[in-house]
Amino acid sequence: MRNLKLMITSLIVILGMAIYIFTIPTIDEESIVHVTAETGDEELLEDVYFSGYILDFSSFHATSEEVITDQSFSYLEKLDGPYNQTLKRLRRKYPDFIDPLVFPTNNYDYNILNSDTHLISGHFENYEGGYQVNQNTVYLRAMNKETDEVIEDRVEREQYREGDHVYVLGLYEEYPTIKVLYQTELWEDTPGNETSILSIGEYNFETKNYTENTLLEESGGFYSYNLDPYQSQNKEIHLLSNPSSTSQESLFVFNYLDHTLTPLEDSNKHFFVGEDSQLYALEQEDEMYLREYNQTGEEVIFEIALELEVPIDVYTEYPQIVASIQDGKLYIAQSKYAENHGEKALPTPFQVLDVESGENLLTGKIEYDTENVINATSGVIEEIGEVADY
């Protein structure tokens, strides 16, 4: 009798779970995020995506044709899949490469480079059964996008500085050679007195040769500036931020080719990296200018005044400016926050301008929760990119 009761109880639980899984209410995602062109040529949005998040609901990936949020994924994908929208999109296309990164519980803080021909990743692992990172070994992987061949190498670091914490800060590839930018942190007893060591490793997937050199030791910690660690493009330069630096500036540009780190003066500027590793800045003077600098930020190569239809604020850190140049067109978005807590999410305006003339080619907006389905209080754009990247 007892066994029968247990069996009935188990069946009820299984039936309840099945009903829950298959009756989860669906949401019209177009009502959650909606991309609209208000003026100009809508064709400029055909190969463009906007990624971001809606507060207290989900991250999203939106184009003028479709919207992808966590609601697009199956129950099991939401339950067991990666939390990051970029990782989810990469996993759908390259599961054999992404799954071994996402699911092992001892993988620590992986970084992914998405180049034209390869996916490259670098990460460390925790020691078996513990939370301490094994700093002696870095795991480097490469997948050929055309053949789907994956190379996985366990690389021993022989010349490195031991610290309290280490992770991969960035990657660059000239296949079969890749470069790995590391940050090693030294923690002090007094909070705020941390020190960071930047080092660069170089590895060849064919010869298996590896070298590593320490670049500098600096107070504070370095962070990638406006860069998704799971969707880095293959650029010669990498913007880094260090708010606690002993330098007068807190923004730096690192060059993977000559291994230099150069401070940037950024008091009224928003820096970003172009398609071909150009260093650009949006700068506010009497007008808003787009300027291209040399890769150290010391010389202006080109400048143009922009015909902005919607003003942007380069002096505020939040909400951040998102800028991207694609095929000679500058895409800019800056989200807005409601003035009072609990108010409805405000639309994010965006605009497209011609890089050579500064002419405004399109203005539009990204609206959130237009039918009050989820009571969104904030919507934020974090990235603008090309659909072809996926």
Q: For the residues of 318-372, what is the DSSP string, one character each?
A: SSPEEEEEETTEEEEEE----SSTTPPPPPEEEEEEETTT--EEEEEEEEE-TT-
Q: 4 lies in a domain?
A: no
- Whether 14 is covered by a domain: the verdict is no
195 and 323, same structural domain?
no
pTM beyond cutoff 0.75? yes
For residue 103, being part of any structural domain is answered with yes
Judge whether 220 lies within some domain. Answer: yes
**Which of the listed residues 218, 245, 265 is the one where a domain comes to its end?**
265
Dihedral over alpha carbons 27, 28, 32, 38 (to 10 degrees)? 180
- Does the residue 105 lie in any domain? yes
Q: Is 254 found in the same domain as 324? A: no
| Residues 117, 72 share a domain | no
The pair of three-digit structure tokens given for residue 308, joined into one six-digit string: 């902005």
**One domain, residues 70 and 218:** no
**Residue 244 and residue 104 share a domain:** yes
Q: How many domains does the chain have?
A: 2
Say yes or no: 96 and 194 in one domain: yes
Tokens at residue 375, please? Answer: 């009571």
Q: Residues 94, 200: one domain? A: yes
Question: Helices in the chain by DSSP H: which ranges?
Answer: 2-22, 29-32, 75-80, 85-93, 95-102
Same domain for 336 and 283: yes
Is residue 307 one of the residues assigned to a domain? yes
- Do 349 and 336 lie in one domain? The reply is yes
Residues 211 and 133 both lie in one domain: yes
Is residue 18 in a domain? no
What is the predicted pLDDT for the residue at 308?
Answer: 97
- pLDDT digit string (tens) for the chain, length 390 residues: 444 444 434 433 344 444 333 444 456 676 789 999 999 999 999 999 999 888 766 677 777 777 777 655 554 455 455 667 788 888 888 999 999 998 887 887 889 999 999 999 999 998 877 778 899 999 999 999 999 999 999 999 988 888 998 999 999 999 999 999 999 999 876 666 789 999 999 999 999 999 999 999 988 889 998 777 777 899 999 999 998 877 777 899 999 999 999 999 877 899 999 999 999 999 999 999 999 999 999 999 999 999 999 999 998 878 889 999 999 999 999 999 877 766 788 999 999 999 999 999 999 999 998 787 777 888 999 999 998 876
Mark whether 130 and 54 lie in a shared domain. Answer: no
Residue 9 lies in a domain: no
Based on the domain organization, do 62 and 155 belong to the same domain? no
Name the burial class of residue 318, with classes exposed (0-12), middle (13-18) and buried (19+) by CB atoms within 10 angstroms of its CB: exposed
| pLDDT score, position 57 | 63
Domain that includes residue 220, residue range? 85-229+236-265
